[in-house]
Structure 1
Amino acid sequence: LRWDGLNCTNADVSVPPRITSLNLSSSGLTGTIAAAIQSLTQLEKLDLSNNNLTGGVPEFLGNMKSLMFINLSGNNLNGSIPQALQRKGLELTVKGNPRLRVSDSSRKPLKKKVFVSIVASVASAAIAIAVLLLFLVHIKKRSKAVEDLPRPQSTPTVNDTFANKNSRRFTYSEVLKMTNNFQRVLGKGGFGMVYHGSINGSQQVAVKLLSQSSTQGYKEFKAEVDLLLRVHHTNLVTLVGYCYEGDHLALIYEFLPNGDLKQHLSGLEYLHIGCTPPMVHRDVKTANILLDENFKTKLADFGLSRSFQGGCESQDSTVIAGTCGYLDPEYCRTSRLAEKSDVYSYGVVLLEMITNQPVISEKCHIAEWVGSTLKRGDITEIMDPNLGGAYDSNSAWRAVELAMSCADPFSSKRPTMSQVISELKECIVCENSRMNNNGGIESQQVSIVLDTSVGPGAR
């Protein structure tokens, strides 16, 4: 059992290991750096680089005696650096924070690298996951740490499975050419940066390049290639090709020009019932739902996906994987991964779309907020105010109740994705009926393509 972003001591097997290194770089974190980090008393290395952290650099980091390396670069931190962090022997990197004031004394060290801040809620959740991982390490591997996943010395076996003539292997020089030396950045994630590219000046692509500081690696790379070569659906992003050359790993996808977020999709239903064996995505969130030029949705990012064998409805998962706020709480409690873990995440996405509220606010999770607000019986308190009340109240209630049933803490009470798609179609019918009764024209009607034909099994 190993998570590359976490290292710990293992000198005394009679006590749980202590965290010595925590790497949360390029993890999409937002908010301020959480005070919970100071509870990691043996922490020596902290990397929070290339996120979207805000606020100031906290004083408590300077009081952590074991901390020798901090990378806060590539964030939106402001204010000044505490004097305690400028002590001799501490390697601090703060580049890429334009609003952070750096004194002359703090510029003297020559080795300054990138460091990022953690959102309070996200950081707390990340540390909780780390503690769970440590506990599992303590139980399963008391005597020694698990060896790193060996990187193959030759071309990966996925080469042999590239029977699809529409997908192919690219050299690193070809990747450089298609991205114009990585000129245009589309985004970033746990795997690394995503760049815009063009093949032969005609086909536009998105190139996901593995970062050397990534918490993911070859294992997730191979998982995503294997899955996207075997499953094909109108609501799943298409893999054009890949690059595996030395230390250079890259995935090349179709380019979806309208970004991500906030549309209904039926790709999950296909993964659950149209694939053989069925698959669970494990990281359903608005940032992984992309839109093409016609605003048709595509489900993306399959590095954490998992297949089920022999018709099993659930499966043990030693490592909890996913995004804070979208993670199935039952999966977190039991480590039992199921298709309805995706349903929970999808319910959170629906709530996010309906309310236009963040998944995790300063007060609570979005499902808790909606649940408490529903008790007052006023749907307008929940709906996105930008809609201006222009919606059918019956379909709105049905959509909210559907989202809440998906986000039920107990998987047995959640619907299947097929049931979700069916209910969403009914909501759309109600909304279109309302618009027709109000004299709306056809072009104004809700028109969301929910392709529920699962087609052939995974190949």
Structure 2
Amino acid sequence: MVGSHKLIVGLNNLLPLFIFIFGITTSWDTLILTEASVGRRTLATDQNHPGFISIDCGAEEDYLNVETGIFYYTDKDFINTGENHDVSPSAINNNYYIQYWKEYRSLRSFPDGNKNCYTLKPKQGKNNNYRIRASFLYGNYDDKNEIPEFDVYVGVNYWDTVKLQSVWYMLFLEIIHFFTADTEYVCLVNTGSGIPFISALELRFSNNSAYNRTNSGAALKNIGVIDLGTSNNDSLRYKDDGYDRIWLSGQFPSSVPINTSLSTDHPGNDSYKVPAEVLRTAVRPVNGSRSLNYFYQSSRFPTSQYLVFFHFAEIEESAQDRLRQFTITLNGFKSRLITLQYLRPFSINFQDLLIQGVINFTIDATEESDLPPILNALEYYRVLPLPFSPTDQSDGDAIMAVKQTYNINRNDWQGDPCLPKEHTWSGITCRFNSTPRIISLNLSASKLTGEISSSFSDLEAIESLDLSYNELKGPVPEILAQLPTLKVLNLSGNRLSGPVPQSLKDKSDKGLLVLSLAENPDLCQIDPCHRKEKKNFAVPVVVSVASALVLIFLSILIAFGRIKRRRQREPLIKSTKDGSFESKNRPFTYSQIVKITGNFTTVVGEGGFGKVYLGTLNDNTPIAVKLLSPSSKQGYKEFRAEAQLLMIVHHRNLVSLIGYCDESGNMALIYEYVVNGNLRRYLSETNRNVLKWKERLQIAIDAAHGLEYLHNGCKPPIVHRDLKSANILLTESKQAKIADFGLSKLFITENASHISTCPAGTLGYLDPEFQVSGNLNKKSDVYSFGIILVELITGQPAIIRSHERSIHILQWLSPIVEKGDIRTIIDPRLQGEFDVNAAWKIVEIAMSCAQPTSIQRPDISYVLTELKECMAIEMALERTQRIHNNMTTSGTSVEMPTANVDSDMVPIAR
């Protein structure tokens, strides 16, 4: 540790401990840091460490690591979630390197939330290269001796998966990243295989010209930064290396080491600045050979592309008056002639040459050369194209401004609001084109206070904005009317005041905007709001007072009348201390029920509650009457629960409640009649009217719309608990509607779970995690929805029964998916009339929904978006086919184009 600041780390032990991986991306921040907000902290950079941000994740106080000369900060100013822990004492005793790298003695874990993000905002700002290093040492901090596995993202793109080989294993993931924004973030994503954690996070400014491949939209993941010819197994970093690259000592095949004690002289234009200590050693061929040969191939990434950087310096004193000249042949491409000068560094790379599959190079001395070639150091990186762009910058800035204005502290509001798709912020729906846009924002019942922020008007692609049931006050901003695509604006249940902007009224009157302003007592919705005329004051006052007295008297009479009628008829839904409420739906007498059902003549369904009868209202509207049987397995509680929920939920993809009956022990619910019955009957083998592929896809989208409304559109959210194909009803046009809410539950908070000891649901659709733990949440419905998707795809029931045995549909499906035979999976009654790419995508969606643990399943909003993308593929192919048919009919020959399929549509296990 003296002089050169080398880290004493044995190579034989180090190589299995270090993995370096690089990449790039862009976006902004979950917590924007400024010098004003962090006080004396200048984003962990100072005069002694320009361009450095060094975070000891989990540390309780800042400190200087005297062994490395690097000052580390705690992570409290870079992330606001997680827990601090120390590794176990045995981890320190069993790992020699922790004595030098104090940052691995503690860590920060993230038991809550699926995505937790660190914010990085270097002083040098955007349009610069930065080296980001994330480090991990589990160290049995939780005394469970269970090593977690999780993903790491940079911005919106996947970086790598953290897989530790042992409790004491130290893992480095390192990335060279070009910042296109001033702020970037690193996110840990829970994949259901343990709680994510991180030991240290470091950012280092890197020269742009040295690694200029990064700003072309490619990723560089480090495979090796190797110091050749060293006589020991040390590694080297800052302060010897101003960029804090970690140089590992390495061996080279068929070579011998050489070294010098003299220092090399860096030219002023040397952008690599390889440390003098690295250049003091080198390798040359053995046994008088005039070539150095090297070969590398990754078993993990056999088709990857690579960039290679070679570093040289003539260090043999005897070579001062002799010629050392050679060429490099890299995967068949030869470099120009290279002539070394004494103690003068020289670096060369093949930035314009992407090496495919393997790294295979030879360094050959020329015929004129007096000396064989040498090589002092080597860097090589894997090139990885980045598939995703961050959310539109204006949308990102706007939603971040909203978050800060209202101090929104939701766990999942971290990182990019739209990406990754499975971790879109709660309450937000995005449109995923080349650049994602926010099209829906639901902040209902989110405890927002103050005035409506002008930042909402910067969400230029938004179609639906729900700010209902908050504590917002002040005027309704007229600027909201300028949002070009806004179709729904819900401001109900606030304390807004003043007149409603005429521009919003006009859009509402023209049917261009659904405007909801109810329950704002001080909001004036009728013009003029205030009379400016002061003449004839006395007469209007007298008339107003008299009118008010008359209205009060009439109101009292009406109220007494209602009380009298209510006493005569005790309703199914009534005001009680247990939280039930008075029904706003139509009450029916039992005699009316008998009449409209024709004395219960036609049975159209049956369940645990009793039978469903077909009825007709006086205007010939068909209805369905669900009559509670005295021997019902569900009973009054579930029957009433269904009524209560249907009183408050209204959506085109949910069955509508028309009225109820509760008279002398006779209880019934009256629904709209859905003529085509349930989906399970339509998918059965006995049904001759086979659903087409496009119809099945639309049914899936309709059902997802209904479920998304229950989960994310209702406050509090509603979990159905008995979602199955038999509870998906089809209208005459085959529009899907979710039915049967007898087992549904309301949840107090958005992410709440419910522990249930009572069985709920239907065999085959039950969440396996719920069956084991009793833990019920929205993802339980997502599992059931995944089974419905599989039914739509295959035509098979959830439980496939045969003479030999009965198996779950996933047991039947999974082996076929692994074989990649899509035509064996799809319902054979479709006779191959489906698009293969869309079919694979919907299979992938279904399998993601039906994961065994809830944390692995996506939110229904994400599922809905993916299903719509499947429909878009189907529609595009349909249009292409129609054009082709038209041109064929007219005698024109055309070549059918292939579908342009995104990378995320690649089939699973194909």
Fold match by TM threshold 0.5: yes
Gaps of 5+ in 1: 1-153, 443-459
TM alignment of 1:79-118, pairs within 5 A: none
Secondary structure, in 3 states, of the residue corresponding to 1:375? Answer: helix
Per-residue CA deviation, residues 372-419 of structure 1 (Å, 9 max, x unaligned), is: 111111101100111111111111000011001111111111111100
Q: 1:162: how far off?
A: 4.5
Match of 2:752 in 1: 313
Q: TM-score by structure 1 length? A: 0.60
Bigger strand fraction: 2
Shift in CA distance, 428/171, structure 1 to aligned 2, threshold 3 Å:
same
3-state SS of the aligned residue for 1:242? strand
Higher RCO by CA contacts (8 Å cutoff, separation 6 or greater): 1
Code of the aligned partner of 1:185: V
Is residue 429 of structure 1 aligned with residue 872 of structure 2? yes
Query: Is 1:269 aligned to 2:735, yes or no?
Result: no
Q: Could you tell me which residue of structure 2 aligns to residue 402 of structure 1?
A: 845
The answer for the alignment partner of 1:179 in structure 2 is 597
Residues 307-331 of structure 1, C-alpha deviations (whole Å, 9 max, x = no match): 1113343111121200110111101
Q: Does the Cα contact within 8 Å between 1:195 and 1:207 map onto a contact in 2?
A: yes
CA apart distance, 1:440: 7.0
What is the deviation of 1:220?
A: 0.7
Which residue of structure 1 lines up, in the alignment, with residue 570 of structure 2? 155
Aligned pair count reads 288
CA contact (8 A) 1:162 1:168 kept: no
1:188 paired with 2:606, answer yes
Unaligned 5+ runs, structure 2: 1-568, 576-580, 680-695, 886-910
Partner Cα distance (1:185, 1:156) in 2 = 26
Q: 1:242 matched to which residue of 2?
A: 660
Q: Quick check: 2:572–2:662 contact (8 Å CA) kept in 1?
A: no
Task: For residue 437 of structure 1, report the CA deviation from its aligned partner.
Answer: 2.3
Structure 1 residues 281-430: aligned runs within 5 Å = 281-361=720-800, 362-430=805-873
Structure 1 counterpart of 2:791, which letter?
Answer: E
> d(CA) in 2 for partners of 1:296 and 1:157?
30
With normalisation by structure 2, the TM-score equals 0.31
In 1, Cα distance between the equivalents of 2:863 and 2:639? 30
Label 1:186 to 1:436 Cα distance change in 2 as closer, same or farther (>3 A).
same
Q: Which letter does structure 2 place at the counterpart of 1:370?
A: L
- 1:240 deviates by 0.5
1:204 maps to which of 604, 615, 622: 622
CA distance in 1, matches of 2:676, 2:807: 30
The answer to whether the Cα contact below 8 Å between 2:572 and 2:660 also exists between their aligned partners in 1 is no
Question: For the structure 1 residues 214 and 441, does the alpha-carbon distance in structure 2 shift closer, same or farther, using more than 3 Å as the test?
Answer: farther
Secondary structure of 1:259 counterpart: coil
- The residue identity in structure 2 corresponding to 1:423 is E
Q: Do the aligned partners of residues 348 and 253 (structure 1) sit closer, same or farther apart at CA in structure 2, a change above 3 Å counting?
A: same
1:251 match: secondary structure: strand
Matched with 1:254 is 672
Cα distance in 1, alignment partners of residues 831 and 772 from structure 2: 40
Higher helix content, 1 or 2? 1
Give the 3 Å change call, closer, same or farther, for CA 243–441 of structure 1 in structure 2: farther
Identify the residue that residue 221 of structure 1 maps to in structure 2: 639
Q: Distance in 1 between matches of 2:783 and 2:719?
A: 12
Q: Distance in 2 between matches of 1:157 and 1:221?
A: 10
Structure 2: distance between partners of 1:308 and 1:441: 52
**Contact conserved, 2:573 with 2:583, CA < 8 A, in 1?**
no
Give the letter aligned to residue 158 of structure 1. I
SS at match of 2:787: helix
One-letter code aligned to 1:306: K
Q: Distance in 1 between matches of 2:599 and 2:572?
A: 28
In structure 1, how many angstroms separate the alpha carbons of the residues matched to 2:727 and 2:623? 16
Quote the Cα distance in structure 1 between the aligned partners of 2:828 and 2:748.
45
Cα distance in structure 2, aligned partners of 1:259 and 1:351: 20
The answer to whether the Cα contact below 8 Å between 1:191 and 1:214 also exists between their aligned partners in 2 is yes
Deviation at 1:436, TM superposition (A): 2.2
Deviation string 1:92-142 (CA, Å, 9 cap, x unpaired) is xxxxxxxxxxxxxxxxxxxxxxxxxxxxxxxxxxxxxxxxxxxxxxxxxxx
Aligned residue for 2:671, secondary structure, equals: strand
Distance 1:419 1:441, change over 3 A: farther
Question: Secondary structure at the residue paired with 1:425?
Answer: helix
CA RMSD of aligned residues (A): 1.9
Specify whether residues 255 and 440 from structure 1 end up closer, same or farther in structure 2 by C-alpha distance, changes over 3 A only.
farther
**Contact 1:317–1:335 (CA<8 Å) still a contact in 2?**
yes
Residue type of the alignment partner of 1:337: L
Task: Give the distance between the partners of 2:572 and 2:592, measured in 1 at CA.
Answer: 21
CA distance in 2, matches of 1:323, 1:332: 11
After superposing the two structures, state which structure 1 stretch, 368-377 or 429-438, moved more.
Answer: 429-438
CA contact (8 A) 1:315 1:336 kept: yes
Give the conservation status (yes or no) of the 8 Å contact 2:757–2:774. yes
For the 8 Å contact 1:162–1:229, the answer to whether it is kept is no
Q: Is the 8 A contact 2:654 2:737 kept in 1?
A: yes
CA displacement 1:14-55 (0-9 Å, x = unmatched): xxxxxxxxxxxxxxxxxxxxxxxxxxxxxxxxxxxxxxxxxx
Q: Displacement, 1:187?
A: 1.1
